[in-house]
């Protein structure tokens, strides 16, 4: 269901795009070089093609090197990467995952704190020269330096994304950043896991200077000279002396800022599911009230509690899945070079796909047969780029360059150069066949036809193609600019080269590909069928829309099933439900309510009325109808089948089991049918494409947490009460009998 899917909570950090493998490095990962004039360089050497990370081996070397440096007569120290476009991408996430006890996690935090305290205490100026990603532990290292200078380049990204992994900055970040920037700016970075580019970091005071990349190291050395001459002093925005800490005005200001920050957190994340930002806030405030030493102790204790908790376990596992998906070649073939792209079918979806291609540097022709639809697609791209400009993520010139790459057209002229065409027309096999026929006459012989279908079989779409090996599914989720998943659907004749090329294209536009087989509903929609279908049956049985939605939001979904149906569009949902019911008549939940609502013209958010009532229809960003909470469409209850209009409530635990456990069962069947390669692909797809709670680590990891015998027992109870569609899948029974789970830790 590619129309209207809500964005899952964004919790996964962008750090460590290329975690190093376990192969031994060719040279020490960090070394101390002494240069002329008494200025030394602390140089981090990444493995070939990888990034610098702070693993335990690097920390051990740093402890020795910094102890040696403290005893030398130096005029200053530059901390830098041997690769000029890098700095330090953070701590080693694999070591976080390996922590098994509170004591181990707290000890790891205290060790990092001691290391950076040694760096901060060096008796000469220390400057971090930041040429690229500086995240997590890398930022905490930079904060322990006396000064920071960054390259004026888009490669620079400075931030503390730890809360996105379910932990908090544990090497002094909660204490040093507020004192450097002030409380409110520091909380914005720490509590949101936010990263800043070089210019924004300079504007906030996170870095002292910017320099062109080619003279970054020289600029760092010049800053050392200025510090030695007394022309520079380390920044500090918050006083930390005993008198300041007892100042009643200061304490009142801290309390008020903390209260506002806590209220904003509650509006955004549930503390029961995501405790890390709440503990990070407490660590910051505690340190400012009780002093740095007490703050460091609170920070380390908090890391101890969080790192071995279920949220961090789930989020770190999910992060690892994303990293593996970015590295996995999917197939052995090499991708084809992509010279130019095209999108056929404008409107909201086509315009957003064209914009995703253009922002990644691809020239893209946006084609439609209707001038109004074409205009709408172009307007979507303009609106999304304008939003980036307003948020200061891009410059006006960059916005203009991106939009200039989109060439709207009502004809197929200019298609002779395209390598990949993304088809985004209506879900009609006849229309898609016509588009394919027209493209075969207009595009080069070797072009790839990537259909953005959400339900039609790739085999059926490719049936009349001259080159069915070059027909593939490329299923985007809506809204395209927010949803990170693309299902790459391999048809029965799709070649390895075609798969490799589309996987490569998906990654280059910043999305995460999951390769799936050609089957009704593919992966995400097939699994969601059980979830949404059971919600509809519960409603027909008399369940209340708001109660069912509330129960699943409490579980951790970004919105309840009825709000999701409204977002998708009830007409789209009815179409996909029909396809899946025909394909799986023995277990697809059978409900008539979608058809009844479609006939009434109640299509969800886009029509202003679905299971809920909304404001004026038309825009995908329409707000709900005025008044809070959002109004339920009470008239929908009258559409329940005769004899099923009771008003009984639902218990949260019961409805959660009824909706979630069948998803586990259906996901197991997808693995049985080799629709996806492994459980990791299922979990990644369900989090990134359906909003399954990230803190649970994924659908099948959640099954492992529950225990497969418990899942099977609960499914059998549901089968006895509600029907055979709940019978556990054969491979789920086999897995439970073997005593294993989906994942081996």
Q: Count Cβ atoms below 10 Å from residue 335 Cβ, excluding itself.
A: 19
Cβ(54)–Cβ(137) below 8 Å: yes
Give me 150's structure tokens: 């960054």
Burial (CB count <10 Å: 0-12, 13-18, 19+), residue 565: buried
| Backbone torsion region of residue 583, taken as left when φ is above 0, otherwise alpha when ψ lies between -120 and 50, otherwise beta | alpha
Burial (CB count <10 Å: 0-12, 13-18, 19+), residue 221: buried
HSE-CB at 214 with a 13 A cutoff on CA atoms is 0
The b/e string for 380-407 (b: 16+ C-beta within 10 A; e otherwise) is bbeebbeebeeeeebeeeebeebbebbb
By DSSP bridging, strand 157-159 and strand 133-135 are parallel
By DSSP bridging, strand 157-159 and strand 195-196 are antiparallel
Task: Say how far apart CA 416 and CA 443 lie, in whole Å.
Answer: 5
Cα torsion 172, 174, 176, 177 to 10°: value is 140
Give the position of tokens 């202003």. Answer: 608
Task: Say how far apart CA 419 and CA 438 lie, in whole Å.
Answer: 15
Burial (CB count <10 Å: 0-12, 13-18, 19+), residue 466: exposed
Cβ(380)–Cβ(389) below 8 Å: no
Cβ(694)–Cβ(9) below 8 Å: yes
Of 130, 49, 138, whose CA–CA distance to 88 is shortest? 138
Task: Say how far apart CA 494 and CA 458 lie, in whole Å.
Answer: 9
Cβ(52)–Cβ(138) below 8 Å: yes
Cβ(580)–Cβ(520) below 8 Å: yes
* Cis status of the peptide bond prior to 213, with omega within 30 of 0: no
Provide the edge-to-edge strand list for the sheet that holds 133-135: 133-135, 157-159, 195-196
- For 55-117, strand residue ranges (E) read 76-81
Cβ(512)–Cβ(325) below 8 Å: yes
Cβ(397)–Cβ(422) below 8 Å: no
* Crossing angle between the packed helical segments 173-181 and 137-144, to the nearest 10 degrees: 60
Greatest C-alpha distance within the chain: 90
HSE-CB at 382 with a 13 A cutoff on CA atoms is 9
Instruction: Identify the bridge partners of residue 134 per DSSP, sorted by sequence position.
Output: 88, 158
Instruction: Identify the bridge partners of residue 344 per DSSP, sorted by sequence position.
Output: 367, 423
Cβ(44)–Cβ(81) below 8 Å: yes
Q: Give SS3 for 721.
A: helix
Write out the catalytic residue numbers. Answer: 475
Give the position of tokens 């994924």. Answer: 698
Q: Quote the radius of gyration of the chain (alpha carbons, Å).
A: 28
Task: Say how far apart CA 212 and CA 155 lie, in whole Å.
Answer: 12
Provide the edge-to-edge strand list for the sheet that holds 485-490: 406-409, 364-367, 341-344, 420-423, 448-451, 471-476, 485-490, 512-517
By DSSP bridging, strand 364-367 and strand 406-409 are parallel
Task: Say how far apart CA 26 and CA 519 lie, in whole Å.
Answer: 46
């Amino acid at each position: 269901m590619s129309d209207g899917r809500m964005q899952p909570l964004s919790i996964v950090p962008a750090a460590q795009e290329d975690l190093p493998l376990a192969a031994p490095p060719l040279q020490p990962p960090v070394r101390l070089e002494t240069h002329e004039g008494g200025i030394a360089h602390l140089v981090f050497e990444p493995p070939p093609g990888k990034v610098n990370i702070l693993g335990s081996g690097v920390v051990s070397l740093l402890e020795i090197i910094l102890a040696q440096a403290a005893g030398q007569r130096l005029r200053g120290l530059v901390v830098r990467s041997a690769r000029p476009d890098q700095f330090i991408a953070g701590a080693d996430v694999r070591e976080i995952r390996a922590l098994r006890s509170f004591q181990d996690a707290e000890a790891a935090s205290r060790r990092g704190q001691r290391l950076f305290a040694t760096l901060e205490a060096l008796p000469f100026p220390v400057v971090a020269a930041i040429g690229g990603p500086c995240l997590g532990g890398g930022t905490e290292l930079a904060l322990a330096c006396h000064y920071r200078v960054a390259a004026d380049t888009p490669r620079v990204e400075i931030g503390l994304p730890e809360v996105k992994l379910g932990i908090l900055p544990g090497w002094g970040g909660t204490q040093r950043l507020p004192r450097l920037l002030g409380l409110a700016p520091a909380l914005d970075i720490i509590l949101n896991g936010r990263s800043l580019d070089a210019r924004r970091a300079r504007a906030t005071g996170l870095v002292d200077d910017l320099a062109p990349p080619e003279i970054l190291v020289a600029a760092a050395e010049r800053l050392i000279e200025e510090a030695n001459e007394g022309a520079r002093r380390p920044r500090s925005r918050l006083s930390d002396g005993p008198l300041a800490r007892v100042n009643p005005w200061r304490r009142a200001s801290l309390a008020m800022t903390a209260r506002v920050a806590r209220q904003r957190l509650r509006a955004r994340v549930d503390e029961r599911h995501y405790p890390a930002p709440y503990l990070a806030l407490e660590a910051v405030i505690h340190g400012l009230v009780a002093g740095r030493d007490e703050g460091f102790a609170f920070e380390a204790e908090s890391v101890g509690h969080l790192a071995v908790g279920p949220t961090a376990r789930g989020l770190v596992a999910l992060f690892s899945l994303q990293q593996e998906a970015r590295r996995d070649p999917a197939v052995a073939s090499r991708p084809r070079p992509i010279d130019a792209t095209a999108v056929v079918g404008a409107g909201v979806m086509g315009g957003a796909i064209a914009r995703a291609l253009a922002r990644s540097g691809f020239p893209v022709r946006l084609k439609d047969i209707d001038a109004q639809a074409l205009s709408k697609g172009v307007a979507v791209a303009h609106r999304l780029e304008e939003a980036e400009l307003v948020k200061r993520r891009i410059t006006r010139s960059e916005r203009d360059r991106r939009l200039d790459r989109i060439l709207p057209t009502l004809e197929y002229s200019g298609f002779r150069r395209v390598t990949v065409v993304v088809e985004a027309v209506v879900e009609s096999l006849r229309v898609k066949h016509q588009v394919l026929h027209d493209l075969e006459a207009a595009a080069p012989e070797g072009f790839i036809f990537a259909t953005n279908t959400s339900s039609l079989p790739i085999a059926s779409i490719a049936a009349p193609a001259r080159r069915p090996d070059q027909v593939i599914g490329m299923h985007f989720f809506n809204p395209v600019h927010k949803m990170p998943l693309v299902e790459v659907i391999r048809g029965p004749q799709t070649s390895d080269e075609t798969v490799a090329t589309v996987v490569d294209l998906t990654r280059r536009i910043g999305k995460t590909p999951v390769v799936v087989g050609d089957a009704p509903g593919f992966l995400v929609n097939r699994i969601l069928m059980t979830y949404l279908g059971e919600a509809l049956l519960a409603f027909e049985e008399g369940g209340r829309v708001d109660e069912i939605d509330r129960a699943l939001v409490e579980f951790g979904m970004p919105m309840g099933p009825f709000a999701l149906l409204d977002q998708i569009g009830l007409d789209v949902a009815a179409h996909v439900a029909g396809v899946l019911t025909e394909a799986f008549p023995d277990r697809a939940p059978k409900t008539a309510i979608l058809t009844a609502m479609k006939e009434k013209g109640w299509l969800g958010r886009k029509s202003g009325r679905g299971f809920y009532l909304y404001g004026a229809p038309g825009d995908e960003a329409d707000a709900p109808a005025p008044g809070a909470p959002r109004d339920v469409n009470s008239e929908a209850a009258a559409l329940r089948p005769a004899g099923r209009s009771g008003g009984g409530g639902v218990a949260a635990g019961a409805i959660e089991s009824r909706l979630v456990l069948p998803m586990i069962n259906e996901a197991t069947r997808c693995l049985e049918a080799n629709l996806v390669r492994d459980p990791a692909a299922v979990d990644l797809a369900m989090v990134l494409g359906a909003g399954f709670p990230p803190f649970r680590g994924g659908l099948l990891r959640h099954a492992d947490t529950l225990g497969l015998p418990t899942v099977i027992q609960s499914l059998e109870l549901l089968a006895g009460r509600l029907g055979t569609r709940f019978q556990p899948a054969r491979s789920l029974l086999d897995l439970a009998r073997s005593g294993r789970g989906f994942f081996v830790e």
